[in-house]
């Protein structure tokens, strides 16, 4: 039996009303979206709205990616406008030079400088065995790093998927669908701050980031 458009319309409307509300952004790659999860885009794929440059490095948007290029002898950062405490952050990155990079969280900067006054870095380095996914910072240097069997999970010249789960003093890093770090900090130095993308000093930084979405777990 064939239905006319007019007769089918009530059925279509009924189905639309029963479909759950769509969340703000897609779930991280290779992982289903669970009920109640709210993901928001931190990068719109068009410009750097919502981000603040720290330092004199070159940050541009090209083909839906954030392209960071080191052009000075200092480190450079691109930080969020908003600070975050507990969250899940999903992004994709590609290393285009040997200088390392990273994703900072719970971070702040000394005003007028590129000096990190507080915060931790999830390391990114395409050189194998350089602790990609490990934690560095808060005035302590390295304080958590992947097990040896996870030191080669990074794809040195291709796109990588990273999910960072920060819940209080507990940090989990999932790289290319493999949990490379699961660490509870017994003495955290910072618990709130910006999220920031880093470029290496000495003009060595050349990174691309895209598909940056966040699930904020903090009750505001």
Q: How far apart are CA 179 and CA 173, in angstroms?
A: 6
Q: How many CB atoms lie within 10 A of CB 182?
A: 13
Is the Cβ–Cβ distance between 195 and 104 less than 8 Å?
yes
Question: According to the model, what pLDDT value does residue 28 have?
Answer: 63
Nearest to 123 by CA among 144, 148, 92, 96: 144
Question: According to the model, what pLDDT value does residue 73 have?
Answer: 84
CATH of the domain at 36: 2.60.120.560
Question: According to the model, what pLDDT value does residue 72 have?
Answer: 86
Domain of residue 67: give its range: 23-216
Extended beta strands in the chain, E state: 40-41, 51-54, 58-62, 65-69, 76-84, 87-95, 101-109, 116-124, 135-137, 142-144, 160-167, 170-175, 178-184, 193-199, 206-216
Q: Considering the domain boundaries, does residue 9 fall inside one?
A: no
pTM: 0.84
* SS3 of residue 126 by DSSP: coil
Q: Considering the domain boundaries, does residue 47 fall inside one?
A: yes
Q: How many CB atoms lie within 10 A of CB 143?
A: 17
Q: Considering the domain boundaries, does residue 160 fall inside one?
A: yes
Q: Considering the domain boundaries, does residue 116 fall inside one?
A: yes
**170 backbone dihedrals φ, ψ, rounded to 5°:** -110, 125
Q: How far apart are CA 165 and CA 182, in angstroms?
A: 9
What DSSP designation does 4 have? P
Is the Cβ–Cβ distance between 205 and 68 less than 8 Å?
yes
Return averaged pLDDT per consecutive 10 residues of the chain, 220 residues in all: 40 34 48 69 97 95 96 92 97 90 96 94 94 94 93 95 97 98 94 95 84 88
**Radius of gyration of the chain measured on its C-alpha atoms:** 20
Please name the residue ranges forming H helices in the chain: 5-18
Number of domains observed in the structure of the chain: 1
Is the Cβ–Cβ distance between 178 and 156 less than 8 Å?
no
């Amino acid at each position: 039996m064939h239905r006319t458009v007019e007769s089918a319309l009530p059925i279509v409307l009924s189905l639309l009303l029963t479909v759950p509300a769509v969340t703000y952004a897609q779930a991280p790659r290779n992982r289903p979206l669970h009920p109640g999860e709210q993901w928001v885009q931190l990068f719109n794929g068009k410009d750097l709205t919502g981000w603040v440059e720290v330092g004199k490095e070159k940050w541009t948007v090209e083909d839906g990616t954030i392209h960071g290029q080191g052009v000075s002898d200092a480190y450079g950062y691109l930080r969020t406008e908003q600070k975050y405490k507990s969250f899940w952050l999903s992004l994709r990155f590609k290393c285009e030079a040997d200088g390392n990079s990273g994703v900072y969280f719970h971070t702040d900067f000394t005003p007028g400088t590129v000096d990190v006054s507080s915060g931790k870095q999830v390391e990114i380095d395409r050189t194998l065995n350089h602790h990609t996914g490990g934690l560095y910072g808060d005035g302590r240097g390295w304080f958590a790093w992947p097990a040896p069997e996870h030191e080669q999970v990074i794809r040195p010249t291709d796109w990588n998927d990273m999910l960072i789960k920060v819940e209080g003093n507990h940090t989990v890093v999932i790289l290319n669908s493999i949990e490379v770090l699961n660490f509870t900090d017994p003495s955290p130095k910072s618990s709130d701050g910006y999220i920031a993308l880093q470029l290496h000093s000495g003009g060595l930084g050349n990174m691309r980031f895209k598909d940056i979405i966040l699930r904020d777990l903090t009750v505001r």
